[in-house]
Amino acid sequence: MNVLTEVLSPSFLLRDALHTSIIIGLACPVVGVFLVLRRMVFMGVALPQISSTGVALALSLHALGHIHLDHGTLDEHALAFVGSLTFSILAVTALAFLERRRVAWNEARVGALYVLSTAASLLLLAKCPTAERGWLNLFKGEIIAISNSDLKLTLGAFAGVLFLLWLFRKELILVSYDRELALTLRKRVFGWDLLLYLLIGLAISVAVIAVGPLVTFGFLLLPPLAVRPFAGTMRQFVVASSVLGGLASVVGFVLAYHWDLPVGPTDVALLGVVCGLGNGVQWLGSRALSSRS
């Protein structure tokens, strides 16, 4: 109880990291709901890693002298954000065009993309002096060094993403849940797909800069996957996913702080336990129904 009181205190030294983690925990599952609806779970794994490759490439080009900036953490973060956003937008735009041409992204292709992106990120950062300042730790899920500027960027970006998702929720849900019906109703499916993918790309690029690809993937997909079997409506699906992500971010942070563990892996492991329990409850429920019949 003393640890929880200390962590939630306004004077807590790591409050920016805690607040950013909570924002990611509340907002990323809402974005992840659309990936789950579109049966694109594996892309939810690959996209954060692609975004991190953009960060690694931008920082490496700067280290090699191809990009000149004034020395400073703010400029370094701005460069990393540009790299992350560029790769995310390119990836989701390509995805939208491929989906329009009905080119299937099977699990093997997505898995290969994930592995190659991971290898490229690690190789680029291994020769980058900037990596010594914490980027490799961020990619591993250690998020305690989040600054106030990261917090403000995360809050502003996700506020915009969530507002647009809410504003166009009917159209985005329709094209995600029943694409054929949307085409029958003469909806501009490609336009709505592109908007959704751009919002997903922006959310992922900001999250990767703030908490790294591991935590981004965990909060994007694990809360929706845990909640989906128990949600009766779309509203319940979204709200329950967000609440679960927010609670996991706080509980995971407290556990990591108490046991001196990296915050990111603790959050993801906690969500994994919740997913496992949810699947167990669902299995027991199905067994009970089958035994009655």
pLDDT band, residue 3 (cuts 50/70/90): confident
Query: Which pLDDT score is estimated for 134?
Result: 60
Under 8 Å between Cβ of 81 and 206: yes
Give the H or E element holding residue 242.
helix 234-259
Nearest to 81, CA basis, from 136, 149, 133, 28: 149
pLDDT at 177 over 70: yes
Q: What is the dihedral of CA 168, 22, 77, 197, to 10 degrees?
A: -20
Mean pLDDT taken over the chain: 85
Distance CA 283, CA 230 (A): 12
Distance CA 131, CA 81 (A): 15
Structural tokens at position 31: 């974005």
Structural tokens at position 253: 């942070």
Residues 6+ apart with CB under 8 A from 151: 16, 19, 20, 23, 210
Identify which has the larger pLDDT, 215 or 62. Answer: 215
Q: Read off φ and ψ for residue 168, nearest 5 degrees.
A: -110, 30
Percent above pLDDT 90 for the chain: 40
Q: How many CA atoms lie within 13 A of 233 on its CB side?
A: 3
Stated pTM of the model: 0.89
Residue-range domains of the chain with CATH? 2-292 (1.10.3470.10)
- Identify the sign of the CA torsion 192, 159, 48, 37: negative
Percent above pLDDT 70 for the chain: 89
